[in-house]
Amino acid sequence: MTNVTDDEWTARTDPFRGELLAHCYRMLGSFHDAEDLLQDTMVRAWLARERFDDERASLRTWLYRIASNVCLTALSSRSRRPLPSGLGQPPDDPEGPFRPAFEVAWLEPFPDAALDAMGADPSAIVGGRGSLRIALVAAMQLLPPRQRAALILREVVGLSAAEIAAILDASIGAVNSALQRARATLAATVPCEDGFEAATRAIDSELIDRYVEAFERADVASLTRLVAADVLMEMPPLLNCIVGPEDYGIFMRRFYRLRGTDIRTVRVRANGEPAFCAYVGAGDGSYHVHTLQVLTCRAGRVIRNTVFQDPVVFETFGLPRQIGG
């Protein structure tokens, strides 16, 4: 594309920034890495703009080719980003010792507000088939990078096997084989309702209200009634996993015993799912940040609570370290 001005190029490429950011996040499992790789993608696209031929590919597909290869290059020198469940951790004693693993590069949550800031429609990018859900992104980190890219480009972006083959410099047969292996791994890793085939589920706002209100009241009995029989709580950078309502309740009683019952929350959205930041009272009218908790719901119950404690996560979501006081 020749004789295009900076403003014209920006006007044509900016509408894709939000979905490309989400694509880089799905590939890397890190919001901060995704931001960096998006910038790299846009710079490379600008430098190569004269080689873009809209008769051979759409601008969207061409940008995805650049972004995918930028991500694959980055993944060649970076470790995958799991959650504790992805490391095969067995359920823990809810009264057992905490097991930190600070050396692990953990999966990071994705702030839906980042898409708003880009002028993108979060519901169109994180909705649809729910492809930013915590469980699904975590499962995709278990795939080899090229399988991961092929799966995302097919199931999320909606490209054909021929288009993916051109992006990955592979044969159509190799792409179909990679897709088959990736789907088999995904099916064995996450429940069917967390896979790509799941229809988007409307968020049960009443359930979330009841859960957050019970959390602020330190009402453990209500909390355990609101979680599913197979509920999972995991807490990176801790390796601890809590499974089932009984252990969930024991762990929550331990939390209130250690942190007190003076709790406040701030609602946010992460990975297209409801989330909240928990603040604990300091005794002087102020509340200090404790965790960001992302809730996954199914059939009127909370089935997963992914609890993040990394200070970088609070900064990513624009959450203050202290409220009140």
Contact 91, 248 (CB under 8 A): no
> What's the pLDDT tens digit per position in 101-125?
999 999 999 999 998 888 777 777 7
* 201 has pLDDT over 60: no
Tokens of 308: 């993040």
Helix H or strand E encompassing 102: none
Angle at 65 between CA 61 and CA 66, to 5 degrees: 120
Tell me the C-alpha to C-alpha distance, in Å, between residue 279 and each of 172, 297, 309, 313: 51, 22, 12, 14
* CA 265/CA 278 separation, integer angstroms: 5
Q: Among 85-89, 138-142, 227-231, 277-281, which stretch is predicted with the lowest mean pLDDT?
A: 85-89
Is residue 141 classed exposed, middle or buried when 0-12, 13-18 and 19+ CB atoms within 10 A define those classes?
buried
Strand, helix or coil at 250? helix
Q: How high is the pLDDT of residue 195?
A: 60
Instruction: Give CA 268 to chain center in angstroms.
Output: 14
Cis previous bond, 236, omega within 30: no
Contact 28, 74 (CB under 8 A): yes
For CA atoms 322, 318, 223, 101, give the dihedral sign: negative
Q: DSSP class of residue 111?
A: B
Task: Over range 169-190, report the average pLDDT.
Answer: 93
Q: How high is the pLDDT of residue 121?
A: 74
* CA 148/CA 174 separation, integer angstroms: 13
Helix H or strand E encompassing 322: strand 322-324
Task: Over range 61-78, report the average pLDDT.
Answer: 96
Domains recognised in the chain with CATH numbers: 81-128+200-325 (3.10.450.50)
**Nearest alpha-carbon partner for 290 in 208, 235, 251:** 235
Q: How high is the pLDDT of residue 94?
A: 97
Task: Round the average pLDDT of the chain to a whole number and report it.
Answer: 92
Q: How high is the pLDDT of residue 199?
A: 45
* 203 has pLDDT over 90: no
Tokens of 194: 């967390």
Q: How high is the pLDDT of residue 191?
A: 64
Those residues whose C-beta lies under 8 Å from the C-beta of residue 167, and which sit 6 or more positions away, are: 61, 64, 65, 68, 69, 149, 153, 159
> What's the pLDDT tens digit per position in 6-22?
888 999 999 999 999 99
Q: What percent of the chain has pLDDT over 90?
A: 79
* 126 has pLDDT over 70: no
pTM: 0.94
Rg of the chain over all Cα atoms, to the nearest angstrom: 21
> What's the pLDDT tens digit per position in 134-164?
999 999 999 999 999 999 999 999 999 999 9
Q: How high is the pLDDT of residue 59?
A: 95
Strand, helix or coil at 158? coil
The region, left, alpha or beta by phi > 0 then psi within -120 to 50, assigned to residue 305 is beta
Q: How high is the pLDDT of residue 124?
A: 72
